Every structure is written in structure tokens, then in C-alpha cells.
Amino acid sequence: MNITAPYLLFLGDATDKLSIKMAQGVADWRPDLCVGQLRLPGCEVSTNLPDMSIQDAHAKGAKTFVLGFANSGGTIDPSWVPYIIEALNAGLNIVSGLHDKLTDIAEIRQAAAAKGLQLIDIRHPQQKFKTANGVSRSGKRLLTVGTDCSVGKMYTSLALEKAMKQHGFDVDFRATGQCGILIAGSGVAIDCVVADFIAGASESLSPANEPLHWDIIEGQGSLSHPAFAGVSLGLLHGAQPDALVICHALGRSSMRGLSHCLPPSISDTIAMNLAAAKLTNPDCSIAGIAINTSSVDEEEALLICERITAEFKLPCVDPLRHGVDMIIERLS
């Protein structure tokens, strides 16, 4: 799954900041990949990229029109289709992270075929994967794992990649979710592959590499999430990580989407992930802990991270507030 930059980010008529997470992610981490955003009347949110028409975006070199939002049900609203067609007519490929497929809409399919342009439904991987073989491979890999879904695994992974590049590491970010794939320009939507191939897809995403090369693999879900733990485990086994970074968000009283489920402790999360990781990499260790401290102030955030550092004898940081250098120091 390879996506051609630069992008025009289509926000539709989104009114909720969370619903444009995909567009915001690429605007934050790869503004150089974006020429601007297109918002429809009624849209109340912004990535803070310049507003732009499809024609202007094309004139500025845009190659791909990105449906950068999510809605309940993941449907493609008929009112968006004319914009998709206009983008195709202007010569742009289309990317969607919605459940509905672009390729299921005849008008879109025909316009793309007529222009020889790509329709990329990120949530419907077309690749054929093999089942995992579990054979140890060269190169080094780090996987971010979480106490829950949506605790900052992608942001932590990207912060690690960025800082490691600055420190001269040979490193690649390996994306496993829609937003990450848009940022990386490639990857596998791991929760969308057929169950038999989760670990196999994870192996193919982070293949054998130079001995000192690092893959920083974006984690998904949580071993403690009753709906998605299977995805997390297959990803973990296929990644064969040398290092794990535990990601956690302060202030969660229940698992995401499941008000009756308590989040696990950091300690249990370390134990569970390490035990599972050792099946395919007995040398796996914990490199650090990344906390999303956005619910508290700077001072409290620092105190909490210091306390966790002392408790686990592992570097603990909020990647966005403190950077990740303390974690990188443990990688070699």
C-alpha cells in the first residue's frame, strides 16, 4: 500500500476534532506532505493548513486527495462524491480510511479508471500475506504497546523515529493504522487483514534488515482490550521486537468504548507484553514508558513521570512534553 504525496486533505463537513484525527495526524507530523485542506460549508474544525480548492491544490502539485476524517459507520456520504470525482478529474489519486469502499461506487471507479488513477481504501488491504513463520530475522525492531487503545502509540512511535534520526540512527517508522499509513506513505492496516494473517502481515511489514537498522512499529489496541487483543498479540508475535515501549494515558477510568472494563496497571501491561513477546524474541526487553499527560499540568506531568521512572527503573516520559531521548539512550 503506497500513497503518493503531496496530499490535499478533505475534511468534509466534520464538526468534531476527533473525527479528523487522520488529517490532523499527517498535518502535525508531515506538514511537508500536505498542500492544504478542503472544507465544506458546515465544517467546524481545521488542521490549520491553508484552505484550498481542488484546482488550486492541483496547481500546487497535489497528487492525492485524502478523505481525512471518520464518521460513525464509516460510510461515504453521497454529498462527498462530486468532490471525489472533481479530484479525479483534476488528476488526483484518492485515499479513504472509511469502511465503505471507494471501489464499490461505480461512478468513482469509472472516473478513476478513465484517468488511470489509484483508489486506495486503506481499511481494505489488497495484499496477499503469508502466515507467519516465526523465524528470527536480522535488524532491530521496537514496538509500541498500550494499556489501552488510543493512548498515544502512534505519536510515541513517530517521536521515537524523529529523535532517532536526529541521533544518527538508521530507522524507519512502520505504520499499522490509517493515520500512520498516510504519514509514512505506506504500511498495513493490521486490524483489517484476515485473522489468519495478522502475524504474517506483521512479519512482512518489518522485514529482515541491516543488523543496526531499527524499525519503529506502531502498535495497535492492547492485550487488555476485550475486543482487539487478538490483533495486538498477532502484531507483537510477528514484529519479534527487541524493545517495547509501554504507552499509557493518564486519567482513563475504563477501557476505550467499554465502560465496564477497568484499564490494566502499567506493571501488568509490562508483564503480559514481555511474556508474549518472548515467544518469538526471547531477548525482548522494555525500553521505556511513554505517558500521555495531557490531562494534567506541566509540573504534575513531570512528577508523575519521575515517580514511574523510579518505580519501574525505566525511563518514563511524555513524548510531546519531554521528548524521548531518555528512552533512546537505552537503544543501541
Least separation in angstroms between CB 143 and its own copies: 14
Crossing angle of helices 198-205 and 229-239, in 10° steps, is 40
Give the full edge-to-edge strand order of the sheet including 285-292: 171-174, 214-217, 140-146, 243-249, 285-292, 316-317
Nearest distance from C-beta of residue 45 to its own copies, angstroms: 25
- Residue of the chain from 63, 237, 256, 322 that contacts its own copies (CB under 8 A): 237
Q: CB neighbours (10 Å) of residue 162? A: 17
Is residue 192 at the binding interface for its own copies, with CB under 8 A as the rule? yes
How far is it, in rounded angstroms, from Cα 276 to Cα 145?
A: 12
Please give the Cα distance from 261 to 101 (Å, whole number).
Answer: 32
Q: Smaller CB distance to its own copies: residue 73 or 251?
A: 73
Closer of 139 and 200 to its own copies (Cβ): 200
Q: Does 75 participate in binding its own copies (rule CB under 8 A)? A: no
Cβ proximity to its own copies, 5 vs 258, nearer residue:
258
For its own copies, the binding residue among 127, 133, 166, 332 (CB under 8 A) is 133
Residue 4 in contact with residue 63, Cβ under 8 Å?
yes
Q: Pick from 5, 85, 163, 229 the residue near its own copies by CB under 8 A.
A: 229
Q: Which of these segments, 33-41, 89-97, 233-241, 321-329, binds its own copies (CB under 8 A)?
A: 233-241
Contact between 178 and 122 (Cβ < 8 Å): yes
Distance CA 274, CA 282 (A): 9
Binding site for its own copies (CB under 8 A): 131-135, 190-196, 198-200, 223-224, 226-235, 237-238, 255, 257-258, 260-261, 272, 275-276, 279-280
